[in-house]
Structure 1
Amino acid sequence: MTLKLKVSVTMRPTSCRNRRASSSCFTFAFLLLLLNFCHIASIAGQKSESALTVVENTEGGGAEEEEMTVDEEEEEGELEVVKPTAEWQTLKPGQAVPAGSHVRLNLQTGQREVRLGEEQMKYRTQEHREQEEAQLSFSPEELKRAMKKIKEDLNTGRKDPEQQDSVASKFRPLEELKKDMAQLDMLVETDFQIMKRLLDQFNNSNSTTEQRLSILLELEYMVHQVDNAQTLCSMGGLQLILQGLNSSDFRLQESSAFVLGSALSSNPAVQVKAVESGALQTLLTSLATAEPLHVKKKVLFAVASLLRHFPYAQRHFLSHGGLQVLSELFKADGGGILRTRIVTMLYDLISEKELISQLGLDSALDASHDERVRQYSEVSLQGELLEKGWCRLVPQLLESTEHDFREKALRALLAMSPVCLDQYRSDSSLLGSLVSLRVQYEEMVQSEMIIGEENGYFSEIMELIDALQIKMK
């Protein structure tokens, strides 16, 4: 946009009688010229960056006129948005800042400066700083040189046929790749095919013990999927696993028990087939024989997986002397590892029976609820625990120094209290253990409260002790 402003100034020589007066007249005229220009420019909204041009005018009788042209940019360029950082940086004219940034005027330099605002600084993480450092690790000049180098390499490769041939020789034609992919599709095995191949190898008389152990490891990984475990049973794999439990090699016994326990976990169909195949008797026999500790742990895992949420198997377990086998195993274990696993299994069996026996437990939604209640009613677990002496065996686990072992024992004692209270009250060692444990855990609870843990792990154990003491009063 161009504004042409004409200001006429008439200078009369007659009013300037001497040289000094003439100089004053010229000064006065020039000031009038500037005042008129400022007045007109303010009306037109002229910006400070406008250009001024002074042109001598030859028109008019004896008077000198000056024409001033003011040029303004017709369009403003797009605003450059500054990316603030944690440090103050100078803000150039025409630059914009994001919302929430902190802007100040530096009184020493007269420059405006910008940095991140308080809220932006609060959520600025170390990852953001590392990203900014990574972005600033290459200067624009370095990037330009790199792009230039890439273009030069491309041009060189296009001009050099030998180089193109050498590059092409490193890659295979697309048609060959398609043929190979088609062959790979034909070689893909389903889980069924994999398990069948593994069972054939396991049953092969030429297979070594190391090979069988490797096969069992792969099967254990696969049977975690419910469908695979059921498929393994339908293929006769359950019989092979039970044969591995009867092996004379302890390693095969341990791996076979591990596979069986994984297949039985939360899989009712496999649990039924295992009971029908005589797996319970085989497992109890393995527990009763003198075998290493690591084998017994895996066998106990398989027993717990078979009995969990399966009252039919629990009833057979009791009728086949399962509690007596566990009792002998409990007494023989000095380290407490097997004791804890046995007590935990008994506690789970008692808890699930109580849970399913509660009135109104989704009976309207579960059509088989009444049948399940009937089956659990035939499992006299707590009566067997009282008869087999478990009311005096479980308190022995409180002598352990492990907090986890004590917690498991306290929970089992509370679950068994409906049938064991009389024996608890007459057991002087149990009463003394509860008193000493309460004093010990009371100090630990105070330590927890000092560090700000009001409801910590030790508080939970002390609550179990208090609950058991209240029942025994």
Structure 2
Amino acid sequence: MHIKNGKVRLKMALILWYLCLHLVCTNTEKFPTALTIKEDLDDLNIEEDAHDSDPEDMEVFYPTDKWQTLKPGQAVPAGSHVRLNLQTGQREAKLGEDEGLKLKYWTDGKRQGMVNQNAASFTHQELKEALKKFKKEADDVSIKGSAQDEESVQARFRSMDELKKDMEALDLLVETDVQIMRKLLSKLGSSNSTVDERVTALLDLEYLVHQVDNAQNLVSMGGLQLLTDALNNTDVRLQESAAFVLGSAVSGNPAVQVEAFEGGALHKLLTLLATPRQMSVKKKVLFALACLLRHFPFAQSRFVRHGGVQVLGELFQANGAEALRVRIVTLLYDMITEKELISQHGADDPPGSAHEERLRQYAEVPLLPMLAEQGWCSLVPELLDSPEHDWREKALRALLTMVPRCQTLYQQNPKLITSLSDLQKQYQELALTEENLGEEDGYFKEILALVDSLVGKMHEATMGVDILHYQNS
């Protein structure tokens, strides 16, 4: 009976020891820990799936090929051999058959990471190696992407060397204005050129001579003589085009104005206006004359002395010249106001200045006396009969500038007085309409002011005559 009970106790002790050993082994196993390396490789973030524990429990055991004593709660890498030393009662562990650690790398889009399949944690060296690997892969991807971007750019754009070659080729084809003008003048002066070719050359020249330098180059290349020859040609298109180029070349270019005047341009233009020509030709000639005389008092004085005012008067009254009348009046008005503005501006200039010389030259232009003498005091008012507001405006401005010489003749012109009265009523209504539309300073109000001013000046003269007559009586 005692022997039987002893066997039972021995079996129970063996079973209890086996269960304790199983529990010890089971409690020492941990689940693998995953390491996630986020996009910023400079910052290391470790996320552990282990349960919260004391710092002591997080100490990692590094097994070798020999048995080592485990501390309480110390983590053991998976795959290690663990035993219970019955003599000391301590747990011991060593490397298993698989002595190497298995590190598994993974990627998910831009994210990448590493998993230690055997260990519960990582050593510092393992983390450094992992970071080096990730950085190297990132640099490789960056270099590869940069290479692809560069290839894409090269496919869409040409290299600098190719562009330089293209520019060199273009330089061989680009011509300067001077070179173009030489070719055009050569074509204009060639006897082998057709009329159409010469007209085309003149129109191309007109575009170029608007620039001051090109106009002066035209003179140095002998272009003015070619223009004079074209003006003498019997072909109407050549005459028109030559006058057009001449006007554009001298416009606002004093140096070319002087050269053209000394080359006889004024005499030639006046001759064309005074002789029978088509009105289209005279229109371009009048344009060239106006450009030649503007701000050129010496040429203006010669114009007056050589019968220019008389030539314009005859053209003003010529049949079919209605379209030229407003241009003629505008030219005369510009010359009058130009002289007045220069006189007002230079009143305080010291003696011997350049402006004083200009004043002297303008003083030699007796334009107003010549206009009054040749009947312009009666010719200009005829423009007031035009239905064009622009014509009326220019006529009113010219009449106002001519008041000092034409005031008495204005008062003796019943047609002018009637026209001014009618215009005053008409523009009062038009100005009122503008004002109702919210235009306080409208165009018609401006014309009304011109009419009122002219009527006022005529009324002042009448009052002065009446006062003088009363005093004498």
Provide TM-score, normalisation by structure 1.
0.62
Counterparts of 1:261-410 in structure 2, within 5 Å, are: 261-332=247-318, 334=320, 336-358=322-344, 360=346, 363=349, 367-410=353-396
Match of 1:440 among 413, 422, 426: 426
The equivalent residue for 2:450 is: 464
Alpha-carbon distance in structure 2 between the residues aligned to 1:424 and 1:362: 34
Q: Which of the residues 241, 245, 255 maps onto 1:259?
A: 245
The alpha-carbon deviation at position 282 of structure 1 amounts to: 1.0
Kindly tell me: are residues 359 and 445 of structure 1, through their superposed partners in 2, closer, same or farther at Cα, counting changes over 3 Å? closer
- Residue 434 of structure 1: how far off its partner (Å): 0.4
* Alpha-carbon distance in 2 for matches of 1:328, 1:219: 32
Aligned to 1:240: 226
Alignment of 1:1-400 (within 5 A): 181-332=167-318, 334=320, 336-358=322-344, 360=346, 363=349, 367-400=353-386
Give 1:329's aligned amino acid. L
For structure 1, which runs of at least 5 residues remain unmatched after alignment? 1-54, 56-150, 159-166
Give the aligned partner of residue 402 of structure 2: 416
Letter in 2 for 1:422: T
Letter paired with 2:176: T
1:452 CA displacement: 1.5
| d(CA) in 1 for partners of 2:326, 2:199 | 28
Q: RMSD value over aligned CA atoms?
A: 2.7
State how far apart, in whole Å, the 2-side matches of 1:336 and 1:358 are: 34
Structure-2 separation of matches of 1:171 and 1:444? 63
Corresponding position of 2:104: none
Point out the structure with max Rg over C-alpha.
Answer: 2
8 A Cα contact 1:336 1:397, kept in partner: no
Asked whether the equivalents of residues 380 and 399 of structure 2 are also in contact (C-alpha less than 8 Å), the reply is: yes
Alpha carbons of structure 1 residues 359 and 232: separation in structure 2 relative to 1, 3 Å: closer
CA spacing shift, 1:457–1:179, aligned 2, 3 Å: closer
Seq. identity, %: 59
Q: Aligned partners of 1:173, 1:469: CA distance in 2, in Å?
A: 75
**Paired residues of 2:231 and 2:238 also in contact (CA < 8 A):** yes
| Offset of residue 179 of structure 1 | 5.0
Q: Deviations over 1:33-54 (max 9, x none)?
A: xxxxxxxxxxxxxxxxxxxxxx
Separation in 2, partners of 1:319, 1:262: 25
Deviation of residue 317 (structure 1)? 0.7
Match of 2:402, SS? helix
How far did 1:333 drift? 5.0
Q: Is the 8 A contact 1:280 1:317 kept in 2?
A: yes
User: What one-letter code is carried by the residue in structure 2 that aligns with 1:385?
Assistant: L
Deviation by residue 1:276-328 (Cα, 9 ceiling, x = unmatched): 11111111111122222222111111000000010111111111111111111
Output the amino acid matched with 1:316: R
Equivalent residue of 1:337, what SS? Answer: helix
The 3-state SS of whatever aligns with 2:191 is coil
In structure 2, what residue type is equivalent to 1:281?
A: H
**Alpha-carbon separation, structure 2, partners of 1:398 and 1:219:** 38
| Range that drifts further, 446-455 or 221-230 | 446-455
Q: What is the one-letter code of the residue matched to 1:388?
A: Q
**Match for 2:235: what amino acid?**
D
- Does structure 1 conserve the Cα–Cα contact (< 8 Å) formed by 2:346 and 2:355? no
Does structure 1 conserve the Cα–Cα contact (< 8 Å) formed by 2:346 and 2:359?
Answer: no
Name the structure 2 match of 1:453: 439
Contact 2:279-2:321 at 8 Å conserved across structures? no
Question: Contact 1:287/1:300 (CA < 8 Å) preserved in 2?
Answer: yes
The CA distance in 2 between the partners of 1:251 and 1:366, in whole Å, is 47
Q: CA deviation at 1:336?
A: 3.4
Q: Does 1:429 align with 2:432?
A: no
Deviation of 1:426 after TM superposition, in Å, equals 0.5
Give the SS at the match of 1:358: helix
In the superposition, relative to structure 1, how do residues 197 and 435 fare at CA in structure 2: closer, same or farther (>3 Å)? same
Change (3 A) 1:427 1:190: same
User: TM-score, with normalisation over the residues of structure 2?
Assistant: 0.62
Aligned AA (2:373): E
Residue aligning to 2:140: none
The number of aligned residues is: 312
CA distance in 2, matches of 1:217, 1:313: 26
Kept in 2, the 8 Å contact 1:333–1:339? The answer is: no
- Cα 1:207/1:318, change in 2 over 3 Å: same
Q: Following the alignment from structure 1 to structure 2, what is the Cα–Cα distance between the partners of residues 417 and 332?
A: 25
Question: Cα distance, 1:334 vs. partner?
Answer: 4.9
Aligned residues of 2:380 and 2:395 also touching (Cα < 8 A): yes
